[in-house]
């Protein structure tokens, strides 16, 4: 029988060493909740609305840079635009990595998904392709797709207003897949939409207990599927196949020349005309084209859902926006992109919608090397989280931040100010490269809806407005839960205008 008399003192000594090391390291970091020995701040982190808790911590500790750690992994929370600009813009060479998340890697995304790739040559290759195809000056090429799909959306809204959420999902998918592949999407049941939805589906499991355990203890990746807690292995095997289908099948379709002109077709033409046999470039072209759906569809849907909710809640703002459209565009046609510069209140409404409910409230970065900020040491590998939610609630910039006030973006001269709320798309080298397409799609949808429809609160049996009381659905992208509203044509002329679009 083994003598265990030395075991307890040894464990106590190890515990003391770990505790001392933890407290000594913590002293170099900004304020934050006091960590417990070994587990750190594991018990301080909420399962939902983390961005709200980080914002509350900022108020509690009186500073915009915060710190917490879990099992030795340190994270800095950045709650102000000023600090975010310093770290993620001015020092983007240092702070453009992504934190390592074991389950994202195991599911097959870290080597494919531009948004979660580690900083390096493969990531730079992907970013160049994204910027080349989706830069601001390229968006005019996609106006025909946006116009066609927005018109189809209006027709669907007129026919079946209660299913506005589904129509929004169809619109977002149709624009992105139309742009990337030239494929005509008319329903969320479309084969290529379903390929993408199936591939991205496993990411919704990242908040499950088994996934969180794997992230905390990556050694669990070696658990066999039959072992208790190892069931995630089945999903991992499926995920790799689903991602491969999403990447390869639309590529084969475009490569065959069947579909209409598309961004992928342009990539391929340029690749072939270069005369090189760069397999890494061909692989990047496939992956970038596939990732555009995941990068843009869900955020576009969420932004438009928040817009519908805001219009139901603030009818006076909706009316003011409609008056601007009527005065500038008239009632005989739909607004076009040429009208955008002459519709400052619509522009302010778009900005306020994005600020009021940021659909991606957290931006995840990691340090590629040691750094110092405001006297605090940031070791290589430290995770840094930009709290976009907190920045959108900065009372010095946005007084009464919970209120929906488009006028905050309008100057005394009646034009939009310089605050384009670009921070909601992230920062530095990790800023969303599809933001110009997303903004253009959301703007066209918003202005077209306001031109032709009224969005009001649903009514009860007595004709009184109901709610809407809305639950926030947390996740990588933040959506409003299901809410009722009434959507009706503004007039007979508006109804006829939409009806003619179906002809």
- Residue by residue, DSSP assigns 215-255 as HH-GGGGG--TTSTT-THHHHHHHHHHHHHHHHHHHHHHHH
* CA gap 305, 20 in Å, rounded: 49
Within 10 Å of residue 4's Cβ, how many Cβ atoms? 7
C-alpha torsion sign, points 189, 191, 195, 196: negative
Give the residue carrying structure tokens 């799609």.
441
Within 10 Å of residue 402's Cβ, how many Cβ atoms? 8
Q: What is the DSSP letter of 275?
A: T
CA 423 vs. chain centroid, Å, equals 12
User: Rg (Cα) of the chain, in Å, rounded?
Assistant: 25
| SS3 state at 357 | coil
Within 10 Å of residue 377's Cβ, how many Cβ atoms? 13
* CA gap 345, 226 in Å, rounded: 59
Residues ≥6 apart with Cβ < 8 Å to 245: 195, 198, 199
- 432 among annotated binding-site residues: yes
Binding region: 432
Binding region for heme: 432
């Amino acid at each position: 029988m083994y003598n265990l008399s030395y075991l307890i003192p040894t464990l106590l000594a190890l515990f003391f060493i770990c505790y001392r090391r933890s407290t000594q390291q913590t002293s170099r970091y900004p304020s934050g909740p006091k960590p417990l020995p070994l587990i750190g701040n594991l018990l301080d982190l909420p399962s939902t609305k983390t961005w709200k808790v980080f914002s509350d911590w900022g108020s509690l500790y009186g500073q915009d840079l915060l710190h917490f750690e879990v099992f030795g992994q340190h994270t800095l929370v950045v709650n102000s635009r000023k600090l975010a600009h310093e770290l993620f813009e001015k020092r983007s060479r240092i702070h453009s990595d992504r934190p390592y998340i074991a389950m994202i890697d195991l599911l097959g995304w870290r080597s494919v998904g531009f948004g979660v790739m580690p900083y390096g040559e493969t990531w730079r290759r992907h970013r160049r392709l994204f910027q080349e195809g989706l830069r601001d000056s390229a968006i005019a090429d996609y106006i025909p797709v946006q116009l066609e799909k927005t018109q189809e959306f209006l027709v669907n809204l007129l026919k079946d207003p209660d299913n506005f959420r589904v129509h929004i999902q169809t619109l977002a998918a149709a624009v992105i897949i139309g742009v990337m592949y030239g494929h005509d999407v008319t329903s969320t049941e479309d084969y290529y939409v379903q390929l993408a939805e199936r591939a991205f589906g496993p990411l919704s499991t990242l908040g499950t207990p088994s996934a969180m355990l794997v992230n905390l203890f990556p050694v669990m990746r070696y658990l066999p599927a039959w072992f208790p807690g190892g069931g995630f292995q089945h999903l991992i095997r499926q995920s790799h196949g689903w991602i491969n289908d999403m990447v390869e099948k639309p590529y084969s379709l475009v490569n065959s020349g069947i579909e209409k002109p598309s961004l992928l077709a342009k990539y391929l033409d340029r690749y072939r005309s270069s005369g090189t046999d760069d397999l890494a470039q061909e692989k990047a072209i496939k992956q970038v084209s596939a990732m555009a759906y995941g990068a843009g569809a869900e955020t576009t849907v969420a932004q438009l859902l928040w817009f519908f909710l805001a219009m139901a809640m603030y009818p006076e703002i909706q009316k003011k926006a409609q008056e601007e459209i009527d005065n500038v565009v008239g009632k005989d046609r739909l607004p076009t992109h040429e009208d955008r510069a002459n519709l400052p209140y619509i522009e302010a409404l778009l900005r306020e919608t994005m600020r009021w409910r940021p659909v991606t409230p957290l931006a995840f970065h990691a340090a590629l090397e040691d750094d110092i900020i405001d006297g605090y040491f940031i070791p290589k590998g430290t995770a840094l989280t930009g709290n976009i939610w907190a920045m959108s609630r900065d009372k010095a910039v946005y007084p009464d931040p919970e209120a929906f006030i488009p006028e905050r973006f309008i100057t005394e001269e009646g034009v939009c100010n310089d605050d384009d709320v670009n921070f909601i798309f992230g920062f530095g080298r990790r800023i969303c490269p599809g933001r110009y397409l997303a903004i253009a799609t959301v703007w066209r949808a918003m202005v077209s809806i306001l031109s032709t429809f009224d969005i009001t609160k649903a009514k009860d049996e007595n004709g009184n407005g109901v709610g809407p009381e809305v639950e926030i659905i947390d996740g990588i992208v933040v959506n409003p839960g299901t809410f009722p509203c009434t959507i009706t044509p503004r007039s007979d002329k508006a109804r006829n205008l939409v009806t003619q679009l179906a002809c």
